[in-house]
Structure 1
Amino acid sequence: MKVHRLLSIVMHLLSRKRMSGQELANLFEVSLRTIYRDLEAINSAGIPIVSYSGANGGYEIMEQYQIDRQIVTFEDLHSIMNALKGIQSSLDDPDLADLMVKVGALLTKSEQSQLEEAGETLIFDTNIWRGGHVDRSMIARLRQAARNRFVVLFVYTNSEGMVELRTVEPIGLAWKGYAWYLYAYCQLRSDYRTFRLSRMKEVVVSDESFIRRDMSLEDLNARWGKIDTANLIRMVLRFHPRVQIKVEEYFLPEEITIAEDGYFIVRTDHAEDVWLYGTLLSFGTDVTVLEPKHLADSIKERALQIYSLYE
Structure 2
Amino acid sequence: MKLARLLGITMLLLGRRRVGAQELAERFEVSVRTIYRDLEALYAAGVPVVSYPGLDGGYEILHTFRIDRQYLSMEELRSMLIALKGVQAAWSEQQLGRLLDKVGALLSRTEGGAEREKDAGQVVLDLNPWRGGKREKRMLEELGQALEQCRAIHMAYMNWEGKESEREIEPIGLVLRDMVWYLYGFCRLRQDYRTFRLNRIQRLEPLEERFERHAMTIEELDRRWESDGEQQLELRLLFHPSVRTRVRDEYPPQAIRQREDGWLEVACTRHKGYWLYSRLLSYGPRVKILDPPEVAQEMRRMAQDMVELYEDRS
- 2:133 alignment partner, SS class: coil
Amino acid at match of 1:261: D
- 2:155 alignment partner, SS class: strand
Separation in structure 2 between the aligned mates of residue 117 and residue 270 of structure 1, nearest angstrom: 41
1:271-310 matches, cutoff 5 A: 271-310=271-310
- 1:262 alignment partner, SS class: coil
1:245-264 matches, cutoff 5 A: 245-264=245-264
Q: Counterpart of 1:46?
A: none
Separation in structure 2 between the aligned mates of residue 233 and residue 90 of structure 1, nearest angstrom: 33
Q: Counterpart of 2:154?
A: 153
**Cα offset for 1:68?**
5.6
Separation in structure 2 between the aligned mates of residue 220 and residue 270 of structure 1, nearest angstrom: 17
Separation in structure 2 between the aligned mates of residue 270 and residue 70 of structure 1, nearest angstrom: 44
Q: Does 1:83 align with 2:52?
A: no
Bigger shift: 68-77 or 192-201?
Answer: 68-77
Q: Counterpart of 1:72?
A: 72
Q: Deviations over 1:156-203 (max 9, x none)?
A: 122343322110111221111110011111112222221110111110
Separation in structure 2 between the aligned mates of residue 117 and residue 262 of structure 1, nearest angstrom: 44
Q: Deviations over 1:190-238 (max 9, x none)?
A: 22221110111110001111111222345445545x3433433343322
Amino acid at match of 2:85: K
1:59-138 matches, cutoff 5 A: 69-107=69-107, 108=109, 111-129=112-130, 131=131, 133=133, 135-138=136-139
**Cα offset for 1:132?**
5.1
Separation in structure 1 between the aligned mates of residue 220 and residue 258 of structure 2, nearest angstrom: 40
Amino acid at match of 1:266: V
Amino acid at match of 2:158: T
Q: Deviations over 1:273-304 (max 9, x none)?
A: 11110111000111122333332221122223
Q: How many residues align?
A: 243
Higher relative contact order structure (alpha carbons within 8 Å, sequence separation ≥ 6): 2
Q: Counterpart of 2:266?
A: 266
Q: TM-score, normalised by structure 1?
A: 0.69
Aligned CA distance change for structure 1 residues 231 and 209 (closer, same or farther; 3 Å): closer
Bigger shift: 214-223 or 87-96?
Answer: 214-223
Q: Deviations over 1:105-147 (max 9, x none)?
A: 3241754532355453532211123x45352111100100110
Q: Counterpart of 1:163?
A: 164
Q: Counterpart of 2:58?
A: none
Separation in structure 2 between the aligned mates of residue 150 and residue 76 of structure 1, nearest angstrom: 36
Identity of aligned residues (%): 37
Aligned CA distance change for structure 1 residues 154 and 260 (closer, same or farther; 3 Å): same
Amino acid at match of 2:213: R
- 1:69 alignment partner, SS class: coil
- 2:141 alignment partner, SS class: helix
Separation in structure 2 between the aligned mates of residue 188 and residue 174 of structure 1, nearest angstrom: 22
Q: Counterpart of 1:242?
A: 242
Amino acid at match of 1:262: G
Stretches of structure 2 that go unaligned for 5 or more consecutive residues are 1-66
Contact 2:157 2:167 in 1 (8 A): yes
Aligned CA distance change for structure 1 residues 147 and 309 (closer, same or farther; 3 Å): same
Separation in structure 1 between the aligned mates of residue 71 and residue 165 of structure 2, nearest angstrom: 52
Amino acid at match of 1:201: Q
Separation in structure 2 between the aligned mates of residue 106 and residue 93 of structure 1, nearest angstrom: 21
Contact 2:81 2:120 in 1 (8 A): no
Separation in structure 2 between the aligned mates of residue 267 and residue 97 of structure 1, nearest angstrom: 43
- 2:199 alignment partner, SS class: helix
Supply the RMSD in Å over aligned alpha carbons.
Answer: 2.5
Aligned CA distance change for structure 1 residues 162 and 145 (closer, same or farther; 3 Å): same
Separation in structure 1 between the aligned mates of residue 98 and residue 117 of structure 2, nearest angstrom: 20
Contact 2:93 2:141 in 1 (8 A): yes
Separation in structure 2 between the aligned mates of residue 102 and residue 261 of structure 1, nearest angstrom: 56
Aligned CA distance change for structure 1 residues 193 and 119 (closer, same or farther; 3 Å): closer
Contact 2:74 2:113 in 1 (8 A): no
